[in-house]
Amino acid sequence: MTHHPAAPHAAPNPASTPTSTPTSTPTSTPTSTLGAARRPKRGGAASEWTIDATDLVKTYPAGRGKEPVRALDGLSLQVRPGEVFGLLGPNGAGKSTTVRLLTTLSRPDSGRATVAGHDVLRDPGAVRHAIGLVSQRPSSAPLMTGRESLELAARVQGLDRATARRRSGELLERFGLAPAADRLTRTYSGGMNRRLDVAIGLVNRPAVLFLDEPTTGLDPEARAQLWAEIARMASVEETTVLLTTHYLDEADHLSDRLAIVDRGRVVAQGTPDALKSELRGDRLVVELVDPTSGAAAAERLSRLPSLFDIVTEGRQVRGRTDQGAGVLPVALAELERWGVAVASATVARPSLDDVYLRHAGRTFEEVGS
């Protein structure tokens, strides 16, 4: 884009382990103590945050003679009890690495973090009993039924047989899976399997639920159903949800607050509306017929006093304006006068993509290309 003036627990194996919730040995924590383990600790300054991470750094080896890959570079974030907090960023930004550290599946090189009042390094077992995790990989085993997957996940979390059976039945009903409860999960649709994944993450009634790219690959109907369930978890059950996503609309729709992550750091944080309101004016996007005319188009548009922050990206020229839709005829007339062919032009309110552009210096589309 051109501007103008070593992990303590391995990741679960979906073929052999029907739960993606990080756990310790199921018999080590009696059922009667699980509620206390899940509840965030009260009292003290830290009780304001259900998740509190400061200056997390994580590197991975890149091969002989190469510099280590710095997946997290001093990432910090705080999540309040009962809110849906979004981690928004393109693939490779560090979102999943953050989740792995906060769920004790990996250890940071430096920095500190507490989840539900428990330190992820000093008390990882308590963290695991306080959380649920829905990872990007399927949680259920294809040769088990939905009911068997849920009951085994509950047993791994320390619930007795009767409680596990009862809790599984509740979740099957809640997620609309009861009619298919005794079918092998390999016969489920993508949306059904994803709902089962979330149900497995909730089997232990967690204080905090981590959802790592939960709607990737889902059709619009299944995606909308999962959105509704995520909203319900936070509003009705007061479950704290940390959601990672690279979908702008998903972060905008679901998040009470969000952090925009780029190159392993949080570059912006706040409510979606507050982040967008920080941007002055509306957004002008001009799609050109000839991608080689971008520089000329940007140069001409930058001379208009009603436009500012002009950037080019492939066929697109973007700018900001305080004049709303009134800038369109002026901009189009200027481009026509200089022989720049325009395919389309729009003016819209600021989006999270604009927020990302402002703080990261590039758009989501540019990162993904």
pLDDT tens digit sequence for 114-128: 999 999 999 999 999
How far is it, in rounded angstroms, from Cα 266 to Cα 88? Answer: 9
What is the set of domains in the chain, with CATH numbers?
A: 31-275 (3.40.50.300), 280-349 (3.30.70.270)
pLDDT in tens, 157-213: 999 999 999 999 999 999 999 999 999 999 999 999 999 999 999 999 999 999 999
- SS3 of the chain: the string is CEECCCCCCCCCCCCCCCCCCCCCCCCCCCHHHHHHHHCCCCCCHHHHCCEEEEEEEEEECCCCCCCCEEEEEEEEEEECCCCEEEEECCCCCCHHHHHHHHCCCCCCCEEEEEECCEECCCCHHHHHHHEEEECCCCCCCCCCEHHHHHHHHHHHCCCCHHHHHHHHHHHHHHCCCHHHCCCEHHHCCHHHHHHHHHHHHCCCCCCEEEEECCCCCCCHHHHHHHHHHHHHHHHCCCCEEEEEECCHHHHHHHCCEEEEEECCEEEEEECHHHHHHCCCCEEEEEEECCHHHHHHHHHHHCCCCCEEEEEEECCEEEEEECCHHHHHHHHHHHHHHCCCCEEEEEEECCCHHHHHHHHHCCCHHHHHC
What are the pLDDT digits (tens) for 47-65? 689 999 999 999 999 888 8
- pLDDT band per the 50, 70, 90 thresholds, residue 356: confident
String of b and e for 163-196 (b: at least 16 CB within 10 Å)?
Answer: ebbebbeebbeebebeebbeebbeebeebbbbbb
Q: Which residue has the tokens 């940390």?
A: 242
Model pLDDT for residues 239-265, shown as the tens digit of each residue: 999 999 989 999 999 999 999 999 999
Phi then psi for residue 55, to 5 deg, are 55, 45
pLDDT per position as a tens digit, 222-239: 899 899 999 988 888 889
Confidence of residue 33 (pLDDT cuts 50, 70, 90): very low
**pLDDT for the residue 367:** 62
Average confidence score pLDDT of the chain? 86
% of the chain exceeding 90 in pLDDT = 67
- Encoded amino acid at 95, one letter: K
- Judged against a pLDDT cut of 90, whether residue 85 lies above it is answered with yes
